[in-house]
A = this chain, B = another copy of it.
Amino acid sequence: MSSVTSSPTFVRSDLVILGGGGVAVVLAGIAHYADWTAVVAFVVSAVAVTLLATLVGRSVEQLGDRFGPGATGVLQSALGNLPELFICIFALRAGLVDVVKAALVGSVLANLLFVLGLAFVVGGLKHGTQRLDSERARTIAVLMLLSVSAMAIPSLAHGLHTPAVAHEKAFSIIVAVVLLVLFALSLPASLKRGATAADPHAEAPRWNVGLAIGLLAIASALAAFVSDWFVDALEPAMDALDVSQVFAGLVVVAIAGNAIENIVGVQLAAKGQSEYAFAVILNSPIQIALVLAPALVLISVAFGLSTLTLVFSPLLVACLLLSVVLATVITIDGESNWLEGASLMALYFIVATAFWWG
């Protein structure tokens, strides 16, 4: 992977991702098999996962609109969640159910509070009050509110309705199927929407199809291995650092697993493309609620892993619902400034602190 020529096929950032990714994967492998201390192994594999995820995203981008821009967008969303999916599957195999639950909710919170807040701060400081009044942003926000709310119902039922407690698994499976059906229903609209909405940072692809598909396949395969090592190092590393499992999932896994979307969203905000930044950032919770979480529920049952249900701990659910309502209201409000961003980041910090203890 480091034998790249200096042909114009690769720009500088490609080389950083390929070179850095290669080094990180090799180091993560050594750390895993040579029994380096858990914290080092964890950090190295986290960096490797992030760089592989970036490479997956870049490869899909380079496939360009060869499948049409709509299909590319859908493919990008689907493959963008691949590393997080791998990590969660290995974590479920290792019995770390609470970590996975916290990571799923944590991804939503990190997106809606931390990343959205950071995008508002960066965009607001550079470009002043930013307007978000497109039909597209509002539609995404409402879909996000509805899908995350649906995902929260099993937890509400578990906590507030005694007879439902005995049916936690069955109920989660039913809800997972409903959410996946909703996702399937939304695909035609996504495909069509992609076709009309021009991607504001599109450029001509530099890689030919073979190279793009090849790198995509290699990065995906490596991501599976590295995710395994990441999960392996997670528990001992958190023990060494005296961090609770829930906090590890909520903050560490959630941020490592969504690094690229997060960076892209903030970069777009910095460029003043607040509408597009917003769409990228709000799309992630939709993906988690309609695809990642329900898929993991069904996979955990089908493959006999530790059973994942959609019953999250009460404080996770309360923060989840509060966050989606806040994010939706802010979108529908139609404007954002850096102070709103700072408030969102403060909220994220406060929520994360609450989970610092156990």
Residues of A within 8 A of B (CB): 129, 135, 138-139, 141-143, 145-147, 149-150, 153-154, 156-157, 160-164, 166-167, 171, 174-175, 178-179, 181-182, 185-186, 189, 244, 313-315, 318-319, 321-322, 325-326, 328-330, 332-335, 337, 339-340, 342-344, 346-347, 349-351, 353-355, 357-358
Contacts and interface: CB of A to CB of B under 8 A. Distances in A.
A106 B347 CA distance: 22
B146 A354 contact: no
> Which among A146, A314, A337 has the greatest number of chain B C-beta atoms within 10 A?
A146
Contacts of A179: 346
Contacts of A147: 343
Contacts of A145: 326, 329
Contacts of A162: 358
A212 B174 CA distance: 48
Given A329-B332, A342-B185, A149 B322 contact: yes
B322 A322 contact: no
B350 A153 contact: yes
A335 B138 contact: yes
Given A143-B339, A182-B346, 20 more contacts: A129-B135, A135-B335, A139-B335, A139-B340, A142-B330, A145-B329, A149-B326, A154-B350, A154-B354, A156-B354, A157-B354, A160-B318, A161-B314, A161-B355, A164-B354, A174-B353, A178-B346, A182-B343, A189-B337, A328-B329
A157 B351 CA distance: 8
Contacts of A351: 153
